[in-house]
Each structure stands twice: as C-alpha cells, then as structure tokens.
C-alpha cells in the first residue's frame, strides 16, 4: 500500500518473497470467484490480512454504490457488498440522473482509510469527486463504517471533468489528487491531511495540468501515480473504454521528478503533448485494459473478454521495472 511507507515496505517485501520464493516481483495470481470488476481500487493484504477490491458500482445492486470484494489469498475473490445501501441524498441532488458511482480510489493515512469516488453521467462533466472515511476496509470488522465527508471537487461549468481520482503524497508527505477524463485531460489539485479535502486556500485555484492528448476527444483518463526510485510515474488509460470487445482502452505512463510534473515518456515527449510510453494493450481475446491501480507489486485493471461477449474482467499482473520504466506483460494464452 502506498501510504504505509517505510513500515509497510518491509511487510510488502515479505509478501513478495512468499509469493515468489525470493525477494522479487510477485507472480500473477490465477484469479477465480467474483472477478467481474470495473475500475478496481486494489489493496494487497499484508501479514496475512485479506486483500480488497473496491470498484465501480452496478446500478442494479446496492443503489449503484461502490462495490466491495475481498480475498484471503489475493486470487479467489468474493462479493462483500457495497459501501452504502443508499447514496447520500446531497450527491443525488448535485448530479441529476446519477446511477452507479464510479472509479474509486483507496488511500490510507495515519490509521484512516480515505475512499475517493466519482459521481457523473456518461458523456457529461456535471461530475464530482466525493470522499468517505473509515478505519477499516473489511465489512466484517465491527468498526466498519464509511462516513460521508462530502464533495472534494466539482466540474459543472468548467473545462475539466471531475472523475477518476488518484491520490499520491510528495516527498514531504503532502497529498495531491490527480483526476480527469477527456475534456481538458488529466488535472491535479493539492489536498491536506487529516481532512483529505482540498488544501486550505486553494479551493478556487485552477487545477494543474498533467496530461493532454492535444486532439478531440482528448481520450485520456484514470490517472494513477506511483512513486518509485526518485520518480513519480503517472499511469493513464487512453482511447475508448466500456465498449465490450470493441474497446480500444490501453495503459500508458510518463514520469517526473516532481509530483506536479512535467511528466515525460521514455522518449522525452511530454504527456501534455500526447506523450505516453505503452504499458499494456489488447492481446488476442483480452481486450482494452485500463482503469488501473497498484498495490503489493501488482497492477490491477479491468479488461474485456472477447470469449465472453465482451464482459469486463479483473486483471492482476506483476509490475516489473526495467531501465527506470514499468513493464507489464500478459501471460501466454492457452
């Protein structure tokens, strides 16, 4: 987990060693159970704790709230319900027509879990990112309760789209939220602890610009930033999601020495000028990977199964590093 820093780093190394038989990258788990997951926020279990997936909701289940899944071994997943039984009424009023909630992000700081999530309707930027907090991710824990903390940022009437939050801390421990989908690309705002909301005095500031395709429809979204060896790596999903086996989604990356950018790809092209080093794309019947997060040395994402009429599925693949850049590879198909 990104936010437990040095204390958890040692635990993650132990998890990796157990999974691989050495101190290295974990093997790709053979997934089973309930793996029909879209936009996974993945948290790998540490020291025998279960792993969790929070994901985009289903409008027919739990009032469309963020879905929860858990696994005791990181491979076999089971449904663990939804964050709430009903959406907060203020959110329904703020985004008319909202059905399911989208693209959650999980971040732990000082014993508190922060759940950022999106409310929008398809093709609109009458959108917002909201926040809830908890002391545990496990619905079976007696202390489990997601407390609504309200809105973080709204985008109605602006040139950006407030969905797809991704949280990162800089070297000083100050939090930032990257976000964005199409419109004016990937943007960023500073946050503050312990509220997890926008930093005081910055609420009216124009969000920073991190990535832009430079041509309509500016098909870039789902930012996720991973600190690694002195750089910040900005993972993005590009092109078309949510079209089943016709999806063209793919994952690309750029890096920066500063959390606020500029982010460049491996060829030195700025992500603000349509740069991006490919990470993962369609391979055979595994179509349109994207909506990524990372934990415990694994990259989580969804993809569309051409063998199952384009049904979306969970992907968990090792996140390897070579020459300063992440490498993710599909396993060979049978």
Q: Name residue, tokens 């491996």.
A: 266
Contact 277, 89 (CB under 8 A): no
Contact 145, 85 (CB under 8 A): no
Q: Is 39 a catalytic residue?
A: yes
**DSSP letter, residue 159:** S
Query: Choosing from 105, 108, 169, 221, which is the catalytic residue?
Result: 221
User: How far does Cα 38 stand from its chain's mean position?
Assistant: 10
Q: Are strands 220-228 and 208-211 parallel, antiparallel or unpaired?
A: unpaired
Q: CA dist 76 to 130, 293, 295, Å? A: 30, 19, 17
Phi, psi values for residue 306, rounded to 5°: -65, -20
Q: Is 221 a catalytic residue?
A: yes
What's the 3-state SS for 170-216?
A: CCCCCEEEEECECCCCEEEEEECCCCCCECCCCCCCCCEEEECCCCC
* Rg (the chain; Cα; Å): 18
Closest CA to 260 of 136, 172, 146, 195: 172
Q: Which residues are catalytic?
A: 39, 221
């Amino acid at each position: 987990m990104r936010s437990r820093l040095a204390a958890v780093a040692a635990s993650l190394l132990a998890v990796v060693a157990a999974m691989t038989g050495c101190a290295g990258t974990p093997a790709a788990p053979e997934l089973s159970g309930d793996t029909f997951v879209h936009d996974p926020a993945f948290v790998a279990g540490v020291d025998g704790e279960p792993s969790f997936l929070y994901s985009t909701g289903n409008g027919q289940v739990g009032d469309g709230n963020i879905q929860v899944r858990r696994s005791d071994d990181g491979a076999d997943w089971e449904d663990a319900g939804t964050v709430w039984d009903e959406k907060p009424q203020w959110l329904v009023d703020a985004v008319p027509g909202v059905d399911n909630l989208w693209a959650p992000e999980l971040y732990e700081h000082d014993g508190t879990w922060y759940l950022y999530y999106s409310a929008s309707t398809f093709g609109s930027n009458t959108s917002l990112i909201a926040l809830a907090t908890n002391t545990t991710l496990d619905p079976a824990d007696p202390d489990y309760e997601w407390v609504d903390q309200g809105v973080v940022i709204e985008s109605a009437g602006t040139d950006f789209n407030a969905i797809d939050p991704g949280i990162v801390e800089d070297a000083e421990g100050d939090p930032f939220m990257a976000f964005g989908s199409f419109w004016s690309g990937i943007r960023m705002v500073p946050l503050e602890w312990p509220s997890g909301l926008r930093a005081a005095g910055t609420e009216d500031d124009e969000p920073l610009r991190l990535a832009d395709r430079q041509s309509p429809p500016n098909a870039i979204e789902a930012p996720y930033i991973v600190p690694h060896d002195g750089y910040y790596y900005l993972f993005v999903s590009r092109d078309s999601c949510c079209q089943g086996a016709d999806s063209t989604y793919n994952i690309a990356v750029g890096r920066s020495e500063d959390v606020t950018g500029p982010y460049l790809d491996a060829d030195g092209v700025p992500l603000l000028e349509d740069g991006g080093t490919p990470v993962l794309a369609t391979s055979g019947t595994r179509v349109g990977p994207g909506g990524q997060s990372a934990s415990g040395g694994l990259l989580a994402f969804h993809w569309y199964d051409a063998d199952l009429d384009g049904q979306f599925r969970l992907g968990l693949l090792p996140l390897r590093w070579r020459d300063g850049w992440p490498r993710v590879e599909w396993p060979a198909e049978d």
